[in-house]
Structure 1
Amino acid sequence: MSSVATWTMLLWALALTCTLCIFAALLLLYALIQSHNTTVPKWRPRNRPIHLLVVLGSGGHTAEMFSMLRRMELDPIKYTYRTYVVSSGDNFSAKKAVDFETTYLTQHKDPAISERPLPATGSYSIVTVPRARRVHQSYLTAPFSTLSSFWSCLLVLRGLHPDQGPFHPESTHSPHPDIILTNGPATAVCIILAARLLRLWHALSARFALGSRSATVSNNFRLRTIFVESWARVTTLSLSGKILLPFADRFLVQWPDLAGKRAWKGMRQTEYAGTLVD
């Protein structure tokens, strides 16, 4: 008799778990579809400083990213704080970020704003997160390293990563990035999915929480994502691109054959932006 009761309880627990999983999946799908069918709000006033987060990947991804930043003539007066995210062991990308900050941004200052002072030292940070999957790593252990990377990315987006240092309330930038810019390294998957999760949590908290705290959070929460497909992808999207196509706020491609692609009907399409690298 006791065994029957035990099996009954297990079946009820299994049914409840499945119901909760289905509900969570439907909630995530609904939130994703709604976000693609609504206009992205203008969170900041026109002249408000911007916190830019740039995801770097080893080798070609990093070279392309800094080529894009040079081409767009990144203005340190407008983008007052920059966070560069690199994977563990990627000393090349970290060095390139330092070189970009210490040479290019100071030597290529716009003459039109030459009378305006550059932000003080400490206007950028380089944050190291664990690799989602190392080369030749077993697929059995990959989920654990991916979860570790994802958790670290959540800390970065909340301004709580040890490499970022303490956030001062009087600072001109928010601990949450205004814009997340990436061109496809594996770390980008964790970063953009983490941003989506935080935005969903924020939206639910703002809807159901009471008091002034939720309004304060609403004014300081942005995390808008831009995915730029690599210039090397001419006719097909990269694996990172295929995964993130439904999740990025804007998905830019550099070749006409990739324009107009979407994850499924009703989702935002890829945008042809032309060549974005030097």
Structure 2
Amino acid sequence: MVILGSGGHTKEMLDLCAHLDFENKFKPLVFVIAKHDHLSSRKVQNFAEFKNSKVLFVFRSRKVGQSYFSSIFTTLWATLEALLVCAKERPQLLLCNGPGTCIPFCVAARLTSFHCTQVFVESFCRTRSLSLSAKIALFISDYVLVQWPHLAKKYPKCIYEGLLV
């Protein structure tokens, strides 16, 4: 299961996915996209290797500019929806890289599947510090990968494997 953010996060994740063996190792492939993120949906459809993948649309936990107080309620709603999706799909791998859309799925996968490996890939543009999502993922995910060596030194739980996108 691949959680797509929006904009640059989607591009980074699709670039990363283009190097993975979905045909032999990771099948069936499920993409999760925020309901109003039409651009990410089109991008998935444009990749020939992802034509047979399943695409699910879910609520965002927080919209850009939304107050933190009201995002408490939308995040709870998104987490409930993520619990239902994870219980149904039973992912063995959860791959995500960014905005709040992925955090409810990280929580849900941890609660519904004991055999789901979670990999959070911090965005290439995070050069000095981790995003809020990555800081949360440190407590939930099995692996948090960073793309700059000094971030792995600054945050010892992170893993640096070189540039991934």
Identical aligned pairs, as a percentage? 39
Question: In the alignment, which residue of structure 2 is the partner of 1:127?
Answer: 56
Q: Which runs of 5+ in 1 are unaligned?
A: 1-52, 107-120, 160-174, 200-220, 263-268
With normalisation by structure 2, the TM-score equals 0.91
Check 1:138–1:231 CA distance in 2 against 1; reply closer, same or farther (3 A cut). closer
Superposition pairs of residues 205-216 of structure 1, within 5 angstroms = none
Question: In the alignment, which residue of structure 2 is the partner of 1:68?
Answer: 16
Question: In the alignment, which residue of structure 1 is the partner of 2:164?
Answer: 276
Superposition pairs of residues 130-141 of structure 1, within 5 angstroms = 130-141=59-70
2:93 is equivalent to residue 179 of structure 1: yes
2:108 is equivalent to residue 194 of structure 1: yes
**Cα deviation, residue 78, structure 1:** 2.5
In 2, distance between residues paired with 1:222 and 1:97? 26
| Matching residue's letter, 2:138 | L
2:143 is equivalent to residue 255 of structure 1: no
Check 1:234–1:89 CA distance in 2 against 1; reply closer, same or farther (3 A cut). same
- Number of residue pairs aligned between Structure 1 and Structure 2: 164
Superposition pairs of residues 1-278 of structure 1, within 5 angstroms = 53-70=1-18, 72-100=19-47, 103=48, 105=49, 123-159=52-88, 175-199=89-113, 222-260=115-153, 261-262=155-156, 269-277=157-165
With normalisation by structure 1, the TM-score equals 0.55
Question: In the alignment, which residue of structure 2 is the partner of 1:26?
Answer: none
In 1, distance between residues paired with 2:22 and 2:110? 27
Structure 2 residue matching 1:252: 3-state secondary structure: strand
The structure with the larger Rg is 1
Structure 2 residue matching 1:79: 3-state secondary structure: coil
- 1:133-185 superposed Cα distances (whole Å, 9 cap, x missing partner): 122323342222111111111111111xxxxxxxxxxxxxxx31110001112
Structure 1 residue matching 2:141: 3-state secondary structure: coil
Whether contact under 8 Å (2:91, 2:109) holds in the other structure is no
Whether contact under 8 Å (2:93, 2:118) holds in the other structure is yes
CA RMSD, Structure 1 to Structure 2 (Å): 1.8
Structure 1 residue matching 2:36: 3-state secondary structure: coil
Q: Which runs of 5+ in 2 are unaligned?
A: none
In 1, distance between residues paired with 2:20 and 2:109? 26
| Matching residue's letter, 1:148 | W
